[in-house]
Amino acid sequence: MGIEDFGGGQTPQADVLVVTTNDVPGHQVTQVIGEVFGLTVRSRHIGSQIGAGLKSMIGGELKGLTKTLVETRNQAMERLVDQARARGANAVLMMRFDVSEAADVGTEVCAYGTAAVISRS
């Protein structure tokens, strides 16, 4: 697996800018639309669970589970952007992730932030 399997983020051509900061340098917030979120719950497949169990006995990174979590976070982020776009935003400020176990069968990932309209200053 290459480094591209373990990351995420936006492309330079994204029409909705997502940042973890309160503001965007060189831009002003012209409208705050409100909270938006993207949520997904993913179960682990049996192969990765068996592999993780064996790997946990000897130590080291659980690459299959890491890749699944990256895919899950990326899906939650896509849903966040879709919701922001649908509400007329061109930016999401203060984006965060919340991750938790979902009834011992999977991982719940929520990407959330504040949808806003920004313009260059």
Q: Which two tokens stand for residue 114?
A: 């504040």
Model pLDDT, residue 32: 98
pLDDT at position 9 over 90 = no
pLDDT confidence bin for 47, thresholds 50/70/90: low
- Whose CA is closest to 31, among 117, 120, 121, 119? 117
pLDDT confidence bin for 21, thresholds 50/70/90: very high
Q: Which residue has the higher pLDDT, 1 or 30?
A: 30
- Whose CA is closest to 111, among 12, 16, 5? 16
**Mean of pLDDT values over 83-98:** 97
Give the amino acid at 5: D
pLDDT at position 34 over 90 = yes
Model pLDDT, residue 60: 73
- Cα torsion at 13, 6, 75, 18 (round to 10°)? -40
Model pLDDT, residue 69: 83
Which residues, 6 or more positions from 5, have their beta carbon under 8 angstroms from its beta carbon? 67, 70
**Mean of pLDDT values over 80-108:** 92
